[in-house]
Structure 1
């Protein structure tokens, strides 16, 4: 595979976001010594530099047709990028911590186009299943205002029961005395008139201070006057 060195150097050091970056220990091809290098993962290309501020990479590993696996080595937290083939090279790398090693292994395993093809194929199968109706529907969201029992909200995925239509109010007719009565009811004596509503404060209102007896006497006068008026109108209405 022929690669343009200038294009690779520009791609390795451009300002585009990287998939992963950090220090790793890289084992030499001919020697057993490990060298600390700055690695940058962009797409399916793993660049390594001598320092983070280096202007050009020392090398690049194309992550196609390879597997990433853990290995036993002199360095702790070691893993290998292994390519298939008799003369293929194996790159042995080591991280500085367990978390860094797991992050690099996961990122390198997902960097190849083969992995992307598998993801796309799986998504296409899920989409086809959803269109065919084989995929179960997503769970229903709970109601915005759940009911409460004993002061505790109770969430339920079931839809709320349909509210019953309110019963129509009975028609009202006016009796000769002016009182409203439901339609269909038998005419009878008019009920006593209701006392008029009073505001919270009026010049002729109840006393603001005093005992319960005074308040009872004040309201009793108005009730007795209204009752006498009602009895008088009832006696005049009777033949």
Structure 2
């Protein structure tokens, strides 16, 4: 490949073009097959080399485009070669002073290839887009969680208040249509004459094998306040206490009476 030596020389001497890597390498010559120590400077995809670091003029430059950097067998340790697949292009052999220096130069020279940079850029772009997509999904999830938390903060006790003030009451179907209107009415207390026989059945007997489900004789009532529920509880508790007192009184009269049940389970 023909190149303009003046343009290449100006590019090497330009201070605004950064140096990717520089240092001493042993280069095997084409005519002289021994390894010669050269100061090498890598700028972009061009590898410049000269005899000493302080020299102003370069001996030569190698265009790295299309080359493959690979290890090679040589009489020198830590050797590697620049090889091109196109026919007619010679291979350049170099040797480093140590294994760490060799690995560092291999990495730098592989990255100087335009095709390698293009592949690297494509891979980096893919990773960037995947990361950006993940960040957007995380932001959407965070916004959703924040909205849910904000809504729960605006109504902190709505669910608890509904659960505390609304009770589910299940009553026998015999109450009929007067059930709702009779909730706040005080139930009649059991008379002493009827209490000693059998305690009234508060619940109808149900078949244990019957499948659970909705039945027409059961009703539920919502929106029962806590005061009404407390009042009902006190009234029924009063009746139960009277029954217990009567049972205790009659229980002292004889053993035969004690065999009767306080609540008839059918």
TM-score, normalised to structure 2, is 0.49
Aligned-partner SS, 2:52: coil
d(CA) in 2 for partners of 1:139, 1:31: 63
d(CA) in 1 for partners of 2:95, 2:138: 44
> Which residue of structure 1 lines up, in the alignment, with residue 93 of structure 2?
92
> Which residue of structure 2 lines up, in the alignment, with residue 2 of structure 1?
2
d(CA) in 2 for partners of 1:105, 1:70: 9
Q: What are the equivalent positions in structure 2 for 1:60-209 lying under 5 Å apart?
A: 60-130=61-131, 133=133, 135=134
Residues 78, 93 of structure 1: 8 Å contact kept: yes
Where structure 2 has 5 or more consecutive residues not aligned to the other structure, the ranges are 140-145, 157-266
Structure 1 residues 136 and 97 mapped into 2: Cα distance closer, same or farther (>3 Å)?
Answer: same
> Which residue of structure 2 lines up, in the alignment, with residue 27 of structure 1?
28
Pairwise CA RMSD: 3.0
Task: Please report how far the alpha carbon of residue 85 of structure 1 lies from its aligned counterpart in structure 2 after TM superposition.
Answer: 2.4
> Which residue of structure 1 lines up, in the alignment, with residue 13 of structure 2?
13
d(CA) in 2 for partners of 1:105, 1:4: 27
Residues 22, 39 of structure 1: 8 Å contact kept: yes
> Which residue of structure 2 lines up, in the alignment, with residue 179 of structure 1?
none
Aligned-partner SS, 1:24: strand
Task: Please report how far the alpha carbon of residue 120 of structure 1 lies from its aligned counterpart in structure 2 after TM superposition.
Answer: 1.9
Establish whether residue 44 from structure 1 lines up as the match of residue 45 from structure 2.
yes
Aligned-partner SS, 1:52: coil
Task: Please report how far the alpha carbon of residue 21 of structure 1 lies from its aligned counterpart in structure 2 after TM superposition.
Answer: 0.3
Cα-to-partner distance string for 1:136-165 (whole Å, 9 max, x where unaligned): 77999xxxxxxxxxxxxxxxxxx9xx7997
Q: What are the equivalent positions in structure 2 for 1:213-224 lying under 5 Å apart?
A: none
Aligned-partner SS, 1:85: coil
Q: What are the equivalent positions in structure 2 for 1:223-234 lying under 5 Å apart?
A: none
d(CA) in 1 for partners of 2:123, 2:137: 18
d(CA) in 2 for partners of 1:138, 1:53: 56
Where structure 1 has 5 or more consecutive residues not aligned to the other structure, the ranges are 141-158, 168-239
Task: Please report how far the alpha carbon of residue 13 of structure 1 lies from its aligned counterpart in structure 2 after TM superposition.
Answer: 2.5
Which structure has more strand as a fraction of its residues? Answer: 1
* Runs of 4+ off more than 6 Å: 136-140, 162-165
d(CA) in 1 for partners of 2:73, 2:137: 45
| Residues paired across the two proteins, number | 148
Whichever of the two has the greater Rg, that structure is 2
Residues 13, 56 of structure 1: 8 Å contact kept: no
Task: Please report how far the alpha carbon of residue 8 of structure 1 lies from its aligned counterpart in structure 2 after TM superposition.
Answer: 1.1
Aligned-partner SS, 2:9: helix
d(CA) in 2 for partners of 1:2, 1:32: 25
Structure 1 residues 86 and 126 mapped into 2: Cα distance closer, same or farther (>3 Å)?
Answer: same
Higher relative contact order (CA 8 A, sep 6+): 2
